[in-house]
Amino acid sequence: MAPVFPTGDLNPRVETKASSFVSQFPDYDGRGITIGILDTGVDPGAIGLSRLPEGVIGDKKLVHVADCTGSGDVAMDTDAMAVQEEKGWVIKKGLFGKEIILNPALNLQPFPDIDTKANSDSDEEKKEDDEKKEEDSEDDKIKMPVRIAFKRAYELFPNKLTTRVKKHYAKEFDKEQHRHAVIVHRELAAWNAEYGGSKNITKEQLREKDDLTAKLDVLEMKNLPATDPLKEDPGALYQIILFYDGENYRVIIDTDGTDSTGDLSQLPADKAMTDYYKEYQYGTFSNVDMLNYAVNIYQEGKVVSIVCDAGAHGSHVAGIAARYHPDAEGEEETEANGVAPGAKLISLKIGDSRLGSMETGTAMTRAMIEAVKHKCDVINLSYGEGCVRPNSGRFVALAEQLVYKHGIVFVSSAGNNGPALTTVGAPGGNSECIIGVAAYVSPKMMEAQYSMRSKIDTEEHPGTTYTWSSVGPTSDGAQGVDITAPGAAITCVPNWCLQRNTLMNGTSMSSPNATGCIALLLSAAKAEGIKMTPTRLRRAIQNSAIEMPGLTCLQQGFGMINVEGAWDYIKNSKDDAHEDINFKVHIIGRPGSPRGIYLRQAQECATKQTFSAQVNPIFGNGDDVDVETQMKRVEFEMKFRLESDSDWVEVPDYFMLMHNGRSFKFDLDPTKLSTGVHTAKIYGYDSSKPGLGARFYVPITVVKPMGEQATIELGELEFEPNEVKRFFVDVPKDATWMDVSVKDTRDPDIDKETTSRLMVLHTLQLLPHMAYRDAEEQKYFNLLPGQETVTSIPVHAGITCELDIGRYWSAQGKSNVEVDVRFRGVVPVPNELTMLSGKGGVKARLHSNIYDEYILPKAKLSNWKSPLGPTSAVISPCDERDILTSNNQQVHQLVLTYEFENKEAGSITPRCPALQGVIYESAFESQMMLIFDEDKKYLGVADSWPSAVKIPKGKITIRMQVRHNNVKKLEKLKDLSIWIERKLSKEITLPAFKSRASMVTEGIKAKRSLLRKGSNTAVFFGEPAAADIPSEAKCGDILMGSATFEDGEASLPGAGKQPGGTSIHYVVGTKTKEEKEKAKTPEAPDERSVEEKMEEAIKKVKVEHLEKLSEKEDDAEKFISLSEKLSEEYPGYLPLLMASLKFYDKKDSRSDKLSEVTNAADAVIDAIDENALAAHFGVKHDEEDAEICKIRKDYEEKKSFLIEALARKARAVADDDTKDQSTFDTIFKHLQKWTDTDAKKFAVLSLEKQKNAKRYGSMLKLLTTLLENDGKDTKDGICPMTKKDLLEKRKEVLETLNYTHLQQRDAKWGVIASIKNFALF
């Protein structure tokens, strides 16, 4: 009989005894319990996440979804009216320029507290007279208010999905490009066949070829600017229509986007969505993406949140915890279930789609608020980061309220950053109120999930935590890892992944497994009427966990979560009120009041020490002052028996505890301990109930390093499966890096194998107020027999360094390596170099106390950063999602706006040193920067760990949001500066000199030399050449880079120098402007009489007054009247004639006055003697003759008037349907006599000329060139064109050419360029 596939091991439940527990108690399968999944979001359509088992109240498993990040938020900022007609509810003009028709069965009602008569149509509708007339004729029809907006698909999609969808549409796009290009290539071949090589080619024939070439440039994406929008797929644009049905706000999303006809009348009325938790509605954007979405509506219909996941992670996590999987016949497939299949789920998306699914402080706070609102019993967070200070910050304070006040159990991943000690992440491994879970892999999991050889010998490959599973303790001595659970599963993923299930591993998977186990326990307790608190539950789990062999408490915490054992503990202790008391422990007299003892330095381990542990009993959330709780505090007394599990820790036998806490002293003697890591615990047992397990404990970790040595030979090391060998070294004084050599000692001739072995090297030093990640090096490598690798790692002298060598958990076969460590160092003083401008340079004193070292100083600058102050700072309350449940306080936001002009397209990294680099331990709830171009198009985002954002040339706006419920704290940040960091286009090499005199005189430069052990020398770096400094750099800007001093010659092992080098900064000073000497134009004496001068001045003032009247449409009649009077008074006065021409040629009113424009232009042209003008400019004038210079100036003015008049006349004729095309051509040729009509300020005429000649390729080329600078090159012309104008014009040309695919792309970018307001945070 064939073996049965071990399906049950795909989502492990045997190891935790969850499977046997549910078999024994089938009704305790999580029913009655709601699990909150704080993650990337959960797909409501994922397999196994839609239904609950038979017999469970309610049929929906996923009962609420919320995007807590704001990444799906859409401001519904365009008001419109829907008119009830026979064909449906009609919105005359949507955001994509088309009529929108909604199902007539929809129940549209007035918005609450809004008078429909007061509701007007959009501004664009008001401007158009024909629509006004139509409105008047519809007064008897029913109108209802709606709001419309749009959202880009790629702002919603997960990164992986965006990549897949772009690839799909790129194929379709390229197919169309190729089809049209083939036609143009044929036309070009025909041209070459007819005219190629001919010496009699006319200019018109060449223009015909240029036109074809220009078409190919677009169709083959050649010679287009890098920033041209045609080169980038904007993705779908989803139009959103919001209305009110008298009870709920509802949303319809037109997922056909700009390709939609606008006719949604056939969309069933029940597809209009409201908040997910009310009706459990969700939709799918398209069959290409297969991304499911739901909505929530906030701020009385002013914000719609489109909820879709930012990655597959969240659905997988949800599947582990609570998937329920009926088979095709509806019968339950128990082996494919999650741990707690009867539990309900709530999806709280904290992975921000804008950040590639990284979490934010805003999202975490909102998720905790939602968890309370929707009555979660337990929440899971499979996220985490290294932290600077454990168990501190705003997040921890809010999490403690969630746990201790609202009674919600909080479970989180411990981290995937092992195998070194103290790699547990925040919050899971560092926050006392959260249960942190390590990741375990059992032999059954290895076999079923990883297809490792069946019937694994458990001695060869026993169960273990994964190599990368984070390890305790925390930096303040707490254990870090609380429990262990299976850390991998093959379970459900979102539909957009185009598969049902996938394998994922990590503490991200062990955490929901433990969460599912906890849901079983809570379900059982609820069914049997046992009141549970997070404290009671945690103690039951800790005291019943199964200690796994071969693992330390720092790896596994208390051990594998044991559902059956925990349930026994809960039942046995259900009547013990002390189980609900949270005993907080900290060590007195140590910096930061640590939660345990953690000794790492050699001097700390050299003597016996006495410590005091403070124990404080906490009732409830600590702030409760009701009579019952207060009396519990008054009456509380507890007698403890203390025990140490190690003979090097001595404790008193007894300890009496009352409310307000007490302390006890204990002795710790590390002097007799061997080198390496040692752990101990002091347990506090209730002396009256010792069998229930410890009520509190004091964790102790001692790391005893090897003595200081310059070279350490660890010798040949043999590894068991997943074994990690830990070495702790006392880094020698003046060491700056170490070379770690690892050699595989297998001999292929003897061992008869050539397969590689996957090994890990992990080094780590703990520095005050720095996360572990800031002083660690981790490297995985596959070693072949006999292969050696040398890794150079920077170190901090005098700080114990952990050096781990490990065999990867899944590696099979013999693993033997030889390891040597060699410390090196040339120490610069100071260790950070800063030079101010002014030729002073900077000096570095160098010394080496370990070995003789050859030095060759080098320095280069690679980055540039500029400070930026805010242009505005506004504090306002956030919305209903941001009211803290613990004290009903409203969270406020400070929005800071920063603006700057970017001279060249490139990338920037926004830096905010005060707020970045932290999440969970931050004093503020969060900070986020959104970056926009001058059209308010969203460009990118920066959060705690910013990355580069591509920005175009032009005005850039950065809006930063900082949140907190304390407005006073926000007030202090209103003048907060940020820094804009860029990479230099070319690195700047700084010269190095042996003396200050050489540096100042730019004399002899430093050369390679020998620095003897124990000796000193100095080197001087000169400042960069003025020509190398970016032209846009301002005084106070900083150029940053690194300096190295060692000669890293190729013959040396490893890098041969300190990795990363020493930081060096240059502060930019003032710049001297070099102005070329220019001769002054001579001025002739003004020989006019006083009366003549006065008359001329009066004439100018009158014309200036006339020009001011042209600015307002209401003054049009006054302008015409005064113009006629002045024309009689000053006939033929050119400035007056030009004022009239510009008046009639105003952009907003010219369409009805084209004949007046033509007449006004003729008046200017007729007033100028063109023959005299030509004669004057036909000869070179004497630049030293004052009288001739004056005449030249007058003629230049006349010429400019003539050119402008001809240009305006040509444009008016082109726009006048009654005029013949030849008339335009005549005027255009006339204009060409006086100026270069190819100049960009005449672009509107060049486009008309090419249009008349049907040279659409040339039109595209010119429009593309103008778009490169967003039309700014036309601002001094007769018709300045905005980016929106150019995109609209190009769309028309593409439509004429039948390049529909390009026209649709341009149309989308045109819509995006017309955004009214900045995107929401």
Residues recognised as catalytic: 39, 313, 508
DSSP 997-1057: HHHHHT-SBP--EEE-TT-EEEEEEPPPPGGGS-TT--TT-EEEEEEEEE---TTSSTTSS
Q: What is the phi/psi pair of residue 172, to 5°?
A: -65, -45
The answer to whether the beta carbons of residues 1050 and 1030 sit under 8 Å apart is: no
Q: Give the number of other Cβ atoms within 10 Å of residue 539's Cβ.
A: 27
- Residue 962's contacts (CB-CB under 8 Å, 6 or more residues apart) are 893, 894, 896, 915, 924, 925, 926, 927, 970, 973, 976
Instruction: Report the C-alpha gap between 1271 and 1247 in whole angstroms.
Output: 14
Element (H, E) at 585: strand 582-588
Burial 388-408 (b: 16+ CB within 10 A, else e): bbbbbbbbbebbbbbbbbbbb
Residues 6+ positions from 1130 with CB-CB distance below 8 Å: 1099, 1136
Residue 909: CB atoms within 10 A of its CB come to 17
State the pairing for strand pair 464-465/435-441. Answer: antiparallel
DSSP code at position 707 = P
The whole-angstrom separation of Cα 376 and Cα 781 is 44
Q: Hey, how many other C-beta atoms are within 10 angstroms of the C-beta on 321?
A: 32
Rounded Cα–Cα distance for residues 426 and 424 (Å): 7
Pairing state between β 954-964 and 926-932: antiparallel
The radius of gyration computed from the CA coordinates of the chain, to the nearest angstrom, equals: 38
Omega before 427 cis (within 30°)?
Answer: yes
Cα 970 → chain centroid: 23
Q: What is the DSSP string of 277-294?
A: HHH---EES-TTT--EEE
SS3 361: helix
Residue with tokens 């706000």: 249
Q: Of the candidates 467, 360, 283, 491, which has an alpha carbon nearest to the alpha carbon of residue 67? A: 360
The answer to whether 617 and 686 are in contact (CB under 8 A) is no
Compute, in degrees rounded to 10, the torsion defined by CA atoms 983, 988, 994, 1000: -110
Of residues 217, 253, 260, the one with CA closest to residue 238: 253
Compute CA distances 856 → 349, 594, 1013, whole Å. Answer: 53, 45, 16
Which residues have a Cβ under 8 Å from the Cβ of 1309 and sit 6 or more positions away? Answer: 229, 234, 1287
The one-letter amino acid code at 750 reads: I
User: How far does Cα 1094 stand from its chain's mean position?
Assistant: 65
Residue with structure tokens 């199902």?
Answer: 103
Query: What does residue 305 show for φ and ψ, rounded to 5 degrees?
Result: -105, 115
Distance (Å, whole) CA 161 – CA 310: 9
